[in-house]
Structure 1
Amino acid sequence: MSEFNLLDEGWISVVTDYKGTTKLVGMKEFFRDAHNYKAFAGDTKTQDFAVMRFLLAVLHTVFSRYDANGNPYEMLELNKRMQQVEEVYEEDESDYKDDLMKTWKDLWNCGKFPEIVDVYLEAWRDRFYLFDDKYPFYQVTKDFFNDCELYSNKGAAKDAGSISFKTINRKISETGDNTAIFSMVGGNDSELKDKLDNNQLTRWLINYMAYSATPDKTKIKRYLDINDIEKYDGHKGWQNSIGAIHYKTDSLFMTFLLNLILVHPDDKFIGKVQTPAWELTPEENIRFYLDNNSINNLARLYTDYSRAVYISNERNQFGRFFNIAQLPILDKKNNLLECMTIWEKTKKKDDNEEKWYPMENNPYESLWRNFGIIYLNNTVESKDFRSPYIIDWFRKISKEISDERYIKLSSVGINSATASNLMKNDIDDEIYVNLEISYDLAKNGWLRRINNLVEDTKKFLNEEYMKYTTDVVALDTGLLRSNATKNQKKLIDAKINSLIGEVYFKIDKPFKDWLSSIDYKEDKEKKLYECKKMIVKIIKDESKRVALAHGDRAFVGIKFKLNNDVLYNNIAISFNKLALKLTNYEKGDL
């Protein structure tokens, strides 16, 4: 029995006006009217991002095969179901790239998505039922687990693993008997907490595939004719593995176009057949992960499965649940298909050489603190970082975009609390940089000058302000870090990091406001000095607040031994040292 088709039923939550009015729409209505919507309005920012990537997979699939007028590209052979039959021949790649670029420009100039998207979705209508006997959306069929031999870390497993609705619902995130005290759903009634309407269930299913953690241990040993599958590391959702960045505007159509990288910056991915999950049967999807799981196209990456999932109609002691089994992990090293992340070169324990890995979001670092590795890696000698492809793509299309458009660079992700990657909190941050400034790569241009300011500020806080906070903690505890025990050092470091984090937090919004206020034609020296003065005042005010918060004891000071010498320090001495260093920072003499 087929039920709840995503093409027609409302499940995508969107903002329709500047008053914040929201609406649930199906996929066909979404692509028809995306130019009238302002933003997503799902349950969390990470969920919105997962849904956006899923919908981007539709666009990558359609416009890798058809132009903005709905005509197939000449070099492609398509079947009756609008699928690309084989990869683009090498001799046709240059023409294909030109055609893709023209399609992107035509879409931008049109201002809305053409009818070919609707035609494609209708051709695949049978793959978008949330509940279906043959092709349940993002799931395996009901009898799938009967065709498997399963195991866990305890040995052979008779039944599939399970995850409760109240666990995948990140507004609750309860596991087992543990109760989330401050969840957004009140009461202890499990029936209330596991109640998800089909529209919510669809969004959380997509989010779960993207951000699943790894506390569940059930894996597949055999599936049909695939026997003796080697033990593998479980797959946490791919978006759980990356520090994601993307562009946002006040129009969902434009947001999608800015993130629709039709011409991949890495030529080895040009002309590959886009294979979103819905174009494969449930069996073909599972075989893909068990046989190979090497992904070479964005539509597949954006619809990546981290689990074999089936939405059960039953209830256990914790309420409604998914039946699940972990699929093999995607290889993160050198997986440069991903465009929406920052890459760093790292050597892992099991590797003899450095390889590229996506940087995961640091919950305590604002996006502006990575300004240089986001915007400048292609212009400086850097062996440790590379420019995110989405930044390269933005520069490629920037000449087509009005500089009046309100465009933000946004980072989104989760912070994991344990080795099992259980979610601790969402990460969501944005910066706005004037369009002209964002591609000013001149040696003495805005990007380099802003980056120098950012790096000088980080250097000052991580060195000079750290010395000050170290003194503050020593005065507060009566302990020098050099003389402390291992456990005492952990406590001292936690206090120091908290004080440094607080001043970063207080700089965050004023700095981002200053960044968004820059006019390309302004005097650079004057504008940069304005920012430095602002940062100096913030640091000075915060350091005064910290000093006064520690009362008389900090001003009386302490005597301590260091290398057999008896020394004296108090908060006034430490503050004056910091004030002198602040003067040097303001002058640019660090």
Structure 2
Amino acid sequence: MVTKSFNLTTEPWIKVIETKSNQTKTVSMIDLFENAHLYSRLAGEMRSQDLSLMRLLLAVLHTVYSRVNAIDQQYSWVSVDSKNLLLNDSTEQVTPDIDDLLDTWQGIYDQGSFTKSVSQYLKANASYFDFFGNRPFYQVTETEYDSFVPKKKSVATGTGTVAIKQINRQISESANTPDIFAPKSGMAKNNVDLPELVRWLIMYQSFTGVTDKTKVETDEKFSTSAGWVYRLNPVFAKGNSLFETLMLNLNLADDRNLAPQKPVWEYETISQYIEERKKQLPPTNLAFLYTLWARLIHIEWGENNNPIIFSAGLPTFDSENVFLEPMTVWRKDSKASKGGSDVFKPAVKGIRSLGIAMWRNFGQYINVDKADDNNQPGIVSWLQLLKNDNLIDRQKLLHLESVALISDGNATSQSPVMESCDDMEINADILFDSDEVDYWPERIEEEVDVAQKVGKDFWSFAANIATIRNLDSRDFAGKVSSAFYDQLNNPFKLWLASLSKQDDPDEKIDEWRNILKRIVINSTQQLLMSSSPRDISGIIVDGKNDTRKLLNIFTAKNQLMGKVNKDLNIQKG
């Protein structure tokens, strides 16, 4: 039922898991911040939805703790009003004291819970978080919507709407293409309660595709873009509680995030926010970035209080070198440069890279060669700063998690087809090793390369078996290779998490290579268990120098083990 008020600060709408009971609980924003240490994690409908909500919660924390410290006292460099909102004259650039910000972070972290300032900020500014208020949360009024879109697209025309089943990213069904395997069927696809609608709306702003036909009017034409987080390869730190997770991702003292924090709700008017977006300039503060709208949304309430959602595309900025964004892996664009400088773009995860685990791209998550800090995600640089300044235990096991919503790759829709979740754990002293002799990140990257070589050897072996069996070698080898890497993933992650500075690197590497060889042998035996007479007798194939040779399961296996022993530097005998 539509009510006159649904205030996100006091009404339960965020799903969390309670640590003590291990049960799901729905809480308000104030409840979450006051009891974050009692919850293990967010627990919405999708992990990518949880990521969207976490960024919203971080925007609140960045806003509050950029203005007050760990004992709720205002910093000397800011001027705020009674609601802890920046005064107009304080928007001029004043460089914050990084040491003070780090002291704030440490004070909150050591205390183990957030201070009263967060709840006080939400209570004082509750009107910004009312889903049905005069300024509805993450929406605009009908008058505002009509003022930004062409007249032929106004609310009265009934055009430019998106259904709940499209905003629900578990379904993402358009009016033209039914989703047969959706978790809901028929009319139920458009049924949703109010708390769930709020969660989907927040996620939609981060992960919308490009099917919208309506755009806000601008002087210059622009292409409707996908949601910002949809254009990333997201990575973040996970803690032992929701409080620790939020703290580990609260990079207060990032020198790229020292501009005044300004989330979307703190703009005096929606017009001011839209004018800022029309400039298409990269954000200068994380509160703005974490609350970035991909669409201008207006909700009308029809018969039986069903929401009718109007959506219009907003101008956005290019993703090149937006290093303010800490939660993404970057890739260097070898074909582009700006003013002679390298250009980096988010390394977006696609369907083709879906089966590649995080550890296989270890070098994307840590600056192994120490050449350029831009080679690693900003969140990893932040964790490195915390470790180097002794703000977290040097032997702390850091948990990096990746959550990506994979698009269909179609430029005209970019509809989600799958959600990918992965993680890896590693000791802080190992990840941020400073040893010049036995530099662990470099040794780990070498072992990743060795495992990839062995993986290629096993692919070739599988292709040979397919040739013997008269099968499509690429298709067969691809499926077998994927299963082989699935066998590698968990053992490598366990080995990675077991590393410590007290270990002898050579011994630990020998330990992993022995595990790797056992997996190769076991995988080979599994593949050959159902051998046929043809597999044993083999076939004659072309060899080197115009010769012919016998290829059967025994020669193929010998060839594989010879390559593996060479890759693992194992001597004969």
TM-score, normalised relative to structure 1 = 0.87
Aligned to 2:221: 231
Look up the SS of the partner of 2:383 in the other structure: helix
- Partners of 2:18 and 2:394 lie apart in 1 by 24
Look up the SS of the partner of 2:248 in the other structure: helix
- Partners of 1:552 and 1:51 lie apart in 2 by 58
Instruction: Confirm or deny: 8 A CA contact 1:412 1:427 kept in the other structure.
Output: yes
State which of 363, 374, 394 in structure 1 corresponds to 2:383. Answer: 394
1:199 is the counterpart of 2:187: no
Aligned to 1:445: 439
Q: CA deviation at 1:437?
A: 1.9
Shift of the 411–496 alpha-carbon distance from structure 1 to 2, 3 Å rule, reads same
Aligned to 1:331: 318
Look up the SS of the partner of 2:296 in the other structure: strand
Aligned to 1:481: none
Question: Deviation per CA, 1:341-397, whole angstroms, max 9, x where unpaired?
Answer: 1211115689998511011233211111121231234x44469x6122211111211
State which of 436, 450, 453 in structure 1 corresponds to 2:429. Answer: 436
Aligned to 1:509: 490
Superposition pairs for residues 229-268 of structure 1, below 5 Å?
229-266=219-256
Q: CA deviation at 1:18?
A: 4.9
Q: CA deviation at 1:588?
A: 6.2
Superposition pairs for residues 465-484 of structure 1, below 5 Å?
465-477=458-470
Shift of the 323–5 alpha-carbon distance from structure 1 to 2, 3 Å rule, reads same
Instruction: Confirm or deny: 8 A CA contact 1:15 1:39 kept in the other structure.
Output: yes
1:322 is the counterpart of 2:309: yes
Q: CA deviation at 1:181?
A: 3.4
Instruction: Confirm or deny: 8 A CA contact 1:238 1:330 kept in the other structure.
Output: no
Look up the SS of the partner of 2:454 in the other structure: helix
Instruction: Confirm or deny: 8 A CA contact 1:211 1:236 kept in the other structure.
Output: yes
Aligned to 1:484: none
Aligned to 1:208: 204
Paired letter, 2:441 = L
Aligned to 1:482: none
Instruction: Confirm or deny: 8 A CA contact 2:466 2:477 kept in the other structure.
Output: yes
Superposition pairs for residues 125-204 of structure 1, below 5 Å?
125-132=126-133, 134-150=134-150, 160-176=159-175, 178-185=177-184, 187-188=185-186, 190=187, 192-204=188-200
- Partners of 2:570 and 2:317 lie apart in 1 by 45
Q: CA deviation at 1:199?
A: 0.9
Look up the SS of the partner of 2:299 in the other structure: strand
Instruction: Confirm or deny: 8 A CA contact 1:140 1:283 kept in the other structure.
Output: no
Unpaired runs of 5+ residues, structure 1, are 223-228, 479-490
- Partners of 1:259 and 1:588 lie apart in 2 by 42
1:53 is the counterpart of 2:55: yes
1:114 is the counterpart of 2:108: no
- Partners of 2:528 and 2:339 lie apart in 1 by 48
Question: Deviation per CA, 1:72-96, whole angstroms, max 9, x where unpaired?
Answer: 1112222444233456877x63x61
Aligned to 1:70: 72
Instruction: Confirm or deny: 8 A CA contact 1:47 1:207 kept in the other structure.
Output: yes
Question: Deviation per CA, 1:257-299, whole angstroms, max 9, x where unpaired?
Answer: 1100001144xx42x1111011123333322222444311100
Unpaired runs of 5+ residues, structure 2, are none
- Partners of 2:417 and 2:135 lie apart in 1 by 33
1:424 is the counterpart of 2:450: no
Paired letter, 2:192 = L
Q: CA deviation at 1:439?
A: 2.0
- Partners of 1:260 and 1:148 lie apart in 2 by 34
Q: CA deviation at 1:19?
A: 4.3
Shift of the 382–34 alpha-carbon distance from structure 1 to 2, 3 Å rule, reads closer
Shift of the 89–138 alpha-carbon distance from structure 1 to 2, 3 Å rule, reads closer
Instruction: Confirm or deny: 8 A CA contact 2:397 2:497 kept in the other structure.
Output: no
Q: CA deviation at 1:9?
A: 0.4
- Partners of 2:560 and 2:253 lie apart in 1 by 50
- Partners of 2:530 and 2:216 lie apart in 1 by 57
Q: CA deviation at 1:104?
A: 0.8
- Partners of 1:441 and 1:460 lie apart in 2 by 29
Q: CA deviation at 1:55?
A: 0.3
- Partners of 2:328 and 2:139 lie apart in 1 by 27
CA RMSD of aligned residues (A): 2.9
Instruction: Confirm or deny: 8 A CA contact 2:453 2:567 kept in the other structure.
Output: no
Instruction: Confirm or deny: 8 A CA contact 2:535 2:552 kept in the other structure.
Output: yes
Q: CA deviation at 1:522?
A: 2.3
Aligned to 2:510: 529
Look up the SS of the partner of 1:220 in the other structure: coil
Question: Deviation per CA, 1:86-112, whole angstroms, max 9, x where unpaired?
Answer: 56877x63x611211111111111111
- Partners of 1:531 and 1:571 lie apart in 2 by 27
Aligned to 1:372: 363
Instruction: Confirm or deny: 8 A CA contact 1:344 1:386 kept in the other structure.
Output: yes
Shift of the 291–519 alpha-carbon distance from structure 1 to 2, 3 Å rule, reads closer
Shift of the 293–199 alpha-carbon distance from structure 1 to 2, 3 Å rule, reads farther
- Partners of 1:126 and 1:33 lie apart in 2 by 22
Instruction: Confirm or deny: 8 A CA contact 2:149 2:312 kept in the other structure.
Output: no
- Partners of 1:24 and 1:209 lie apart in 2 by 22
Q: CA deviation at 1:452?
A: 1.4
Identity of aligned residues (%): 29
Instruction: Confirm or deny: 8 A CA contact 2:236 2:402 kept in the other structure.
Output: yes
- Partners of 1:120 and 1:142 lie apart in 2 by 28
Look up the SS of the partner of 1:76 in the other structure: coil
Aligned to 2:23: 21
State which of 208, 214, 217 in structure 1 corresponds to 2:213. Answer: 217
Question: Deviation per CA, 1:171-198, whole angstroms, max 9, x where unpaired?
Answer: 333322544333323x42x1x2212111
Question: What is the number of equivalent residue pairs in this alignment?
Answer: 555
TM-score, normalised relative to structure 2 = 0.89
Look up the SS of the partner of 1:49 in the other structure: helix
- Partners of 1:588 and 1:129 lie apart in 2 by 66
Look up the SS of the partner of 2:64 in the other structure: helix
Moved more, 453-462 or 336-345: 453-462
Shift of the 158–520 alpha-carbon distance from structure 1 to 2, 3 Å rule, reads same
Instruction: Confirm or deny: 8 A CA contact 2:296 2:311 kept in the other structure.
Output: yes
Aligned to 2:451: 457
Look up the SS of the partner of 1:130 in the other structure: coil
Aligned to 1:582: 564
Shift of the 255–148 alpha-carbon distance from structure 1 to 2, 3 Å rule, reads closer
